[in-house]
Structures are given as C-alpha cells and as structure tokens.
Amino acid sequence: MIKNVVVEELVKQGNLPEEAIEDLTPMSSSINPLGMMDNGADSDSTFKVQGTISTSPESTKYPITILRDTGSAQSILSKTALPLVETKYTGRMSYLHTLDSKSAVPLAEVVLDSDLLKGIVKVAVVNTDLPIPGVTFLLGNDLAGNWLIPELEVTDKPLLKSPTESLDIECPHVFPAVTRSQSNNSEPDLLTSSSQESLFSQVMSKENLILAQEADPSLAKF
C-alpha cells in the first residue's frame, strides 16, 4: 500500500512514466501482509518429510507429516494422528512453553519410521491439532540432536528404581555412592563377650603386667 502511494505521487509530479507502473505493480502484489514473498510454494516444504507412527512395531502404522523444528526442545505428536496413543503413556509429563503460556502434557513411547529417524521414541502428546496446517508430528531437538539442555520430566509418583542405575555401575566416579543414611539403619559392629575376653586376656594377664612394669623406666628403683 505504501509503495502504491509513492508511485501515484511520482506520476502526479511527472517524475515517473505511466508505462513504468506495470513493471512495478507485480512486485508490490507479490508481498503478503506478513512481509513474506508469496510465490505459491510451501515455505516449510524443505523441513517436511513423510513417515509413519504406531504404538508398537507389530501394530498398525499411521501416516504422518513431520516438520523438523530446530527451535523446539521437545518433539510433539498430535493425538489425532495415532489412535490408542494413551495406552503408551509413560506416566511422566513434559512442560511445553509457548509465547504466552505453558502447560504440562503427557509423554508417550511410540514407534517412529521416517527418513530422519527410526525407532522407539518418547514424545509429548497434545490433544489438539498442531498450529502448522497438515503437520501432525513436530520433530524437536530432543530427538534430532544439536540440543544442549533436555526438557524437564516430572512425575507425581516416587521412583522405586534409580533411572541412572546402569550409569552408576558403568561410571562409579561420576555417581559416587552416598551411604550415610543407610549406615544409620545398619546394626553396629559390636564385640562379642568371647572376643572381649580374648582381647583383654592378652593385654591384662599377670605376666604382661610384670613385663610392662619392668620395661617402664619410671618404675625403676633408685
């Protein structure tokens, strides 16, 4: 709109030939209100791939459209893309942060098959459609790599088994054992009566006392 006003003003002043308007008008109409060039092509097509999703390797595979999002720390699946996905919930949640809100959504373990990634993956599941038309799976940095800080996972049930148990064994210098609290629960290692008698009988015998007195210079006679 601003460009059209400038062109009209130049024509009125006689500084721009009218035939030049035809050359400038297509350029002005090729810009949409968001300031992006509108050439009819999908601007996200470079980052989109097709794939399938399923609840297990043996179950039915459902087609999905995957968008690789380098600005997302968490991969997200639309619940509408995979029936019975709620049966694969892990019991943990992931906090999704948007520009104006944050919410906790469940995590699920599903089977992903695509050119970018294949195998069992853990993703956040949202009840609504994703904001990108046609996209049902958002591939974030947690699965695609090049991420620095993993998303926080929370649970409302205490863990009965340490999730780093295997790492504790493989890297004991990284995960040192803390036994202070467990030592309070253990029985004190006390000497038995028989061991005490054996110990004191060696130290307090008459012969040992005589030898100790004779070897002590402070007890020598003047």
Q: Which tokens is 71 given?
A: 């600005």
| Domain ranges (residues) in the chain | 1-40, 45-154
What are 35-76's pLDDT values in tens digits?
333 444 455 667 888 999 999 999 999 999 999 888 888 999
The whole-angstrom separation of Cα 195 and Cα 99 is: 72
SS3 string of 70-82? Answer: CCCCCCEEEHHHC
Q: What is the mean pLDDT of the chain?
A: 73
Model confidence at 193, pLDDT cuts 50, 70, 90, reads: low
For the full predicted model, state whether its pTM sits above 0.85.
Answer: no
Record: fold of 45-154: Cathepsin D, subunit A; domain 1 (2.40.70)
**In 42-79, which positions are buried (b, 16+ CB within 10 angstroms) versus exposed (e)?**
eeeeebebebbbbbeeeeeebebbbbbbeebbbbbbbb
Q: Percentage of the chain with pLDDT > 90? A: 29
pLDDT of residue 213: 81
> Quick one: residue 40, left, alpha or beta (phi over 0 = left, psi -120 to 50 = alpha)?
left
What are 119-173's pLDDT values in tens digits?
999 999 999 999 888 999 999 988 887 544 445 667 777 777 766 676 667 666 6
